[in-house]
Structure 1
Amino acid sequence: MDGDHQLIVTSCGRELIRRQCADDPALLRVLMRAGSAEPEPDILPKLEARIEAVRQMLHSATPGVIATLCPELLALHQLYEGDMAGRHDRHVLIHSCSWPDQQAVNLIAEWLEGLGMTVETMRIGGLREGEKFLFKEAMAIFTRWCGNVLSNYKIYEFHIIFNPAGGSRILVGLLQTLAPFYAHESVYLLEPGRDLVHMPMPSVQTRGDRMLRQHLHALRRLFAGLSVHPEKLAKIPEQVLMADDEGHYRLSFFGELLWDHNRRDIYGEAMLEPISDRIIITERFRDGAAELDRGRFILLNERLDQLSFLLEAGEVNMDRTTLSLLSLRPLDAPLQESTHSCHGWADKVLWKLLGHYEGSRFVLDALVEG
């Protein structure tokens, strides 16, 4: 397995535990029917004993034996060609919300961490029958996570591998669908053998630039988490939207893909008009932003979207990390008409957005260095 920096996303199920309970029909029935809740107290101790036995086996067994325990471990064993010593890769294990799946994933995570790997587990909701909206919402959330997190790993030259080894067919299908957009390669176990096939993923740029530009203001508001007037929503292709039971709209799984793969190109062209009428931009501010390069235009437009959300939705509804990053605060002393500043970005120098309030509206006075 080549590459100094790798991030491996593996879909996981309950097979690791199920196989260890194959000799007990009562335990198997509980595992197959289990939801997110913990099993009944009369059966839980027996299950916990089997789980502990698997944990001990993972600590003591040879790599060859571990590879026989479940498809997820077999795929990882094959991926590393049986030698995981000295590796410090990052792993993300995605799984359903069911109790057996979570227990199995915890065991795999412990095993990987014991080998020196960095591991994150991620639950994907909506995999039960009758939870169609929850699944669509989970797909959209996972797609946004891929756009935010995996795109950054690519910047730092991590080699990203999707490993749809276990779990439900829907979970496997989710990784297979997203692999061409976010992974450098995807790996598959050939049935019924033990061979692992590596499939390089082509770089995919989703078509949709024209549609995004046509509805840019509305889509920017949706991505930021703000409401959009029903008349504007009605003009947007329905496949890029999803609504909950209360009629609140957001970008769908497909909408997130379109947005993520075109947003930087659009945001990097010039400063866009704010998505909220609570922001007023002065000519002085526009002049200061006129000569920015592509990367800084992207950062500036992201800040304008975040500031729009803060002004409309308030601090209490804003993600704590984003709120800290924006860092809107009063100046120690007024600077001409400006009374407040917020963080722009930091490259060679620190850039700030200066402004002042006029009632509920915020006037951006200047974009300054230092």
Structure 2
Amino acid sequence: MRVIVSTCGTSVLTHQTPDEFRTLLNRLSNRQQDELGEHLSAVEAHIAQRRDQMRTADIETARKMSAELNGILGVYGGTLPPEARSDRHLLVASDTYLGNTCARIVADWLTANGIPDVQVCVIKNLVTDSLETFRFGVQELVQWCEETLPGHRKTYRIIFNLTGGFKGVQGVMNTLAHAYADEIVYIFETGRDLLRIPTLPLNWDPVAIARAHLPALRRLALGIADSSDIAGLPEVLVLAEKDDAGLSLVGEMVWQKAAPVLYAERLLDPPSPRIRYSPRFERQVADVIEPDRRVRINRAIDALERWLAGHEPPKSFQVKPVEGKHPTLPQVTHECYAWSDRDAKRIFFSLDNGAIVLEDLGQHL
């Protein structure tokens, strides 16, 4: 059995499209539906036409119209044999209107032709018109790979089909394949010959790498690193541009694999001087024995660091002023969700001249 991960672009819309309209589609490929403006009606009419064509497309026509399906069907030798029904297809799409739409057209064709296990996996920020946004998209893509693929690898052979999709995304997936896939497949342009590239067996220890550089990698992941953090890191882990720095693709791979392990071990030191721990809070966390709860506490602290920088925390780590007063700590002004299941713990904290002090890990008031 196989998991075939296919990068998706807009080929189903641009194939045999007049040059002028193809240029327009390429220009609109990073936009949302409500950003298409005066072009919305023309684009939607074109989508409806292509969707109708794909509904009745045979295998040969589907291969011509869709680069993604050309690669998938190439894996099967140009047919859909009975064993294809036991494979799982993950279609990686951008969260843009055209990217999402095209991936769903491909998914509909596979489902209509007897492939039951097809999922469209939408990755946020995976756009190619802004380097900064694309970097966030790469973070999301690496996180998706780490959360989705290792569990499949125990049962399935994982194939990255990179025939379709945008070149920037294909380049990232080529690197990720060596950590998450068994094989890369590719078909050039509208050809039929399938190029198979076995991935290299990586012998590395991302947890050991991250442990050796934990504070700096964490700060890079949070977007708060300074020059002293970068100076001590291997260059392969860092993407530095002028006054801005973040994790490189390899750095993201290391961090996504290692962070859950390191976060489960103990309460990590605060990521910056803007967060401090009270002795009471440290004792309470030391008494937490479940590794997954320690992960939640460390991730909540990450969310608080981002909150201090002006970013809205995820709903699972919601931050809000306390209602009423803390029963024993009158200095407490805010709470952050640690977890909402079981005993539903909150991290209570006080404000101190632009910094925060984590005072208590307790049940919600």
Show the counterpart of 2:227: 230
Identical amino acids, percent of aligned pairs: 23
For 2:175, the equivalent position in structure 1 comes to: 177
SS in 2 for 1:271: coil
Residue of structure 2 equivalent to 1:209: 208
Q: SS where residue 333 of structure 1 aligns?
A: coil
Given the superposition, is the C-alpha separation of residues 223 and 104 from structure 1 closer, same or farther in structure 2, using an over 3 Å criterion?
A: closer
Question: Take 2:134 and 2:200, find their aligned partners in 1: how far apart are those partners?
Answer: 20
In 2: Cα distance, 1:56 partner to 1:187 partner: 28
Q: Secondary structure at the match of 1:20?
A: coil
Structure 2 length-normalised TM: 0.72
Whether the aligned pair in 2 keeps the contact of 1:190 and 1:197 (CA below 8 Å) is no
CA drift at 1:19: 4.4
C-alpha distance in 2 between matches for 1:329 and 1:313: 17
Superposed displacement of residue 259, structure 1: 1.7
| 3-state DSSP of counterpart to 2:164 | coil
1:313 to 309, 313, 316: 309
Task: Give the Cα–Cα distance (whole angstroms) in 2 for the partners of residues 223 and 202 of structure 1.
Answer: 26
| Cα 1:214–1:360 shift into 2, 3 Å | same
The answer on whether the counterparts of 1:241 and 1:255 sit within 8 Å (CA) in structure 2 is: yes
TM-score by length of structure 1 reads 0.71
Residues 169-191 of structure 1 show CA distances to partners (whole Å, capped at 9, x for unaligned) of 55433212111323465444599
After TM superposition, the structure 1 stretch with the greater mean CA deviation from structure 2, 333-342 or 228-237, is 228-237
Q: 1:323 to 1:75 in 2, by over 3 A?
A: same
Aligned partner of 2:294 among 293, 297, 313: 297
1:223-267 per-residue CA deviation (whole Å, 9 max, x = no partner) reads: 1122x343443333344333445x122222222122222222322
Match of 1:24 in 2: none
Rounded to whole Å, the distance in 2 between the matches of 1:118 and 1:49 is 25
Q: Give 1:141's aligned amino acid.
A: F
Counterparts of 2:70 and 2:52 in 1: how far apart (Å)? 18
The question of 1:54 aligning with 2:22 is answered no
Report SS of the residue matched to 2:361.
strand
Residue 325 of structure 1 is matched in structure 2 by 317
Alignment of 1:141-156 (within 5 A): 141-154=136-149
Distance 1:104 1:349 in 2: 41
Q: Which amino acid aligns with 2:217?
A: L
Q: CA deviation at 1:272?
A: 1.0
Offset, 1:52:
5.4
Equivalent in the alignment of 1:335 = 327
Tell me the distance in 1 between the aligned counterparts of 2:340 and 2:14: 51
Maintained 8 Å contact 1:206/1:257: no
For this pair of structures, how many residues does the alignment match?
338
Specify whether residues 20 and 63 from structure 1 end up closer, same or farther in structure 2 by C-alpha distance, changes over 3 A only: same
* Per-residue deviation, residues 200-242 of structure 1 (Å, max 9, x unmatched): 88576555734x445432332221122x343443333344333
Which residue in the other structure is 2:282 paired with? 286
* Contact residue 139 and residue 253 of structure 1 kept, 8 A: no
Name which of 336, 350, 359 aligns with 1:356: 350
For each residue in 1:112-136, what CA deviation from the matched residue of structure 2 results, as whole angstroms up to 9, or x when unmatched?
2463854345574448xxxxxx55x
Q: Distance in 1 between matches of 2:236 and 2:86?
A: 46
1:36 alignment partner AA = R
Q: Pick the aligned partner of 2:253 from 243, 248, 257.
A: 257
1-structure distance, mates of 2:205, 2:108: 36
Q: CA RMSD in A?
A: 4.2
Q: Alpha-carbon deviation of 1:56?
A: 2.4
| Alignment deviations for residues 17-58 of structure 1 (CA, whole Å, 9 cap, x no partner) | 55424xxxxx3477479752599x9xx97x988765533221
User: SS of the residue aligned with 1:72?
Assistant: helix
Displacement of 1:166 in angstroms is 2.3
After superposition, give the CA deviation of every residue in 1:129-180 in whole Å (9 maximum; x if it has no partner): xxxxx55x56643432133333333587596652211245554332121113
Partner residue of 2:120? 119
Alpha-carbon distance in structure 2 between the residues aligned to 1:235 and 1:15? 44
Segments of structure 2 that go 5 or more residues without pairing to the other structure are 30-35
* Contact 1:58–1:66 (CA under 8 A) maintained in structure 2: yes
Distance in 2, matches of 1:331 and 1:283, equals 24
Question: In 2, are the aligned partners of 1:186 and 1:201 still within 8 Å (CA)?
Answer: no
- Aligned partners of 1:184 and 1:200 also within 8 Å: yes
8 Å CA contact 1:185–1:200 kept in 2: the answer is yes
